[in-house]
Structure 1
Amino acid sequence: MLKLVFTGVWICAVSLGSVYFSIQHASAPVETDAEAERRALQEYVPGELITVPVIADGAVQGYFLTKLSFSVDKAKAKNMEVPLKESVTNALFDILVGQKLINVADTSNFDLASFKTAVKDGLNKQFRDEVIFGVLVEQLEYLSKTDVARIANSANEKQRKPVPIVDKNGETAHDQMPESEKRAAAAGH
């Protein structure tokens, strides 16, 4: 009986010691002054769900449904002549339709990280300044023209959900805005 008590005390002491040791030696990520300054300058702007037509052979073949949110420079976003959301929506049409960043027929070469970088660089180029720090892709899906026609005609067929775009690494769009930023954006509306 006494052995059992000593064993229990020993196990508790070792467990508490290892937890204490791991907490003491765990270090928070080191943030440089430049990163801290940039974090103070940025805010998250929730995007809107937009529909972008896929045009090939002179006709609409389908539609991308996309919802992008952005990490932006607060001061530069407030000083824009046209509000940021409207500017972004306009610029996204130019980037997504004009540059054909996604080949719907063959998504095996699609890279989500490259897509985010291309959108960020394209927006900053159109704004002629580094307004956008990062792009969060919350949703990126495709509806073919036949799917849209089927939905519009309310056929008795089971409705299909939009097809998520999967990149060459098997990643789909699932970025999330930080919770504190979601609450701040909701309070601002």
Structure 2
Amino acid sequence: MIKVLLIGLWVCIVSIGGVYLSARMSEATATADAAPAPVVTTVVRGNPISMPVIHNGAVDGYFLGRISLSVDSEKSKKVQLPMDALLTDQLFSLLMGNPMIDLKNVGSFDPENFRNKIKDGINAKLGDAVVANVMIEQLDYMSKETINTNTARRGNNPIPAQKIVEGVVVEAPAPAASH
């Protein structure tokens, strides 16, 4: 009789332990499944831009730049307009419509704020968080006087443009291999 009672107690303990263990394992699996999948991004290389700086109705110089975007690969497939066109439009808005750069005090320029405004502006136009990161490859200023001096020198010892941001090198995406 005691044997049967001990065997019954042993079966209960093993059953309860098995149920507890399987419940804990399923919670761990559910937590792992709930973790967001990593976002796959693609680099969209921007076109080189040259935008006039207009002051008192006259051209004072030009912004020279190239800015690239890191975009969510899946979300960017749904975008109807070319990303480089959206980028150029946003740059014209920031540099011409609402100037963010004080050319007399270039050191006060905040590149992180500039990147965020580009990213937020494009994402707002698209209605989704398509742009993940903005990379400034080049952002320089060349005054009209510097251009005229360099033209007069005919390529001998040109005066370089004024660096606004020290850019990063962005590699062009590799072409897709065809099978």
TM-score where L is the length of structure 2:
0.69
Give 1:51 shift.
Answer: 0.9
Corresponding residue for 1:174? 167
Change over 3 Å in CA distance of 1:155–1:77 after alignment to 2? same
Corresponding residue for 1:68? 67
Corresponding residue for 1:131? 130
Secondary structure, in 3 states, of the residue corresponding to 2:38? helix
Q: Please say which structure displays the higher CA radius of gyration.
A: 2
Q: 8 Å contact 1:68–1:136 — kept in the other structure?
A: yes
Which consecutive residues of structure 1, in runs of 5 or more, have no partner in the other structure? 1-31, 166-171
| Number of residue-to-residue matches in the alignment | 143
Which consecutive residues of structure 2, in runs of 5 or more, have no partner in the other structure? 1-33
Change over 3 Å in CA distance of 1:72–1:149 after alignment to 2? same
Is 1:187 aligned to residue 175 of structure 2?
yes
Change over 3 Å in CA distance of 1:59–1:126 after alignment to 2? farther
Secondary structure, in 3 states, of the residue corresponding to 2:87? helix
Q: 8 Å contact 1:92–1:123 — kept in the other structure?
A: no
Secondary structure, in 3 states, of the residue corresponding to 2:159? coil
Q: Which amino acid aligns with 1:140?
A: L
Secondary structure, in 3 states, of the residue corresponding to 1:104? coil
Is 1:47 aligned to residue 46 of structure 2?
yes
Give 1:54 shift.
Answer: 1.4
Give 1:157 shift.
Answer: 6.4
Secondary structure, in 3 states, of the residue corresponding to 1:187? coil
Equivalent residue runs for 1:4-153 within 5 Å: 33-34=35-36, 36-38=37-39, 40=40, 42-153=41-152
Secondary structure, in 3 states, of the residue corresponding to 1:61? strand
CA RMSD of the aligned region, Å? 2.3
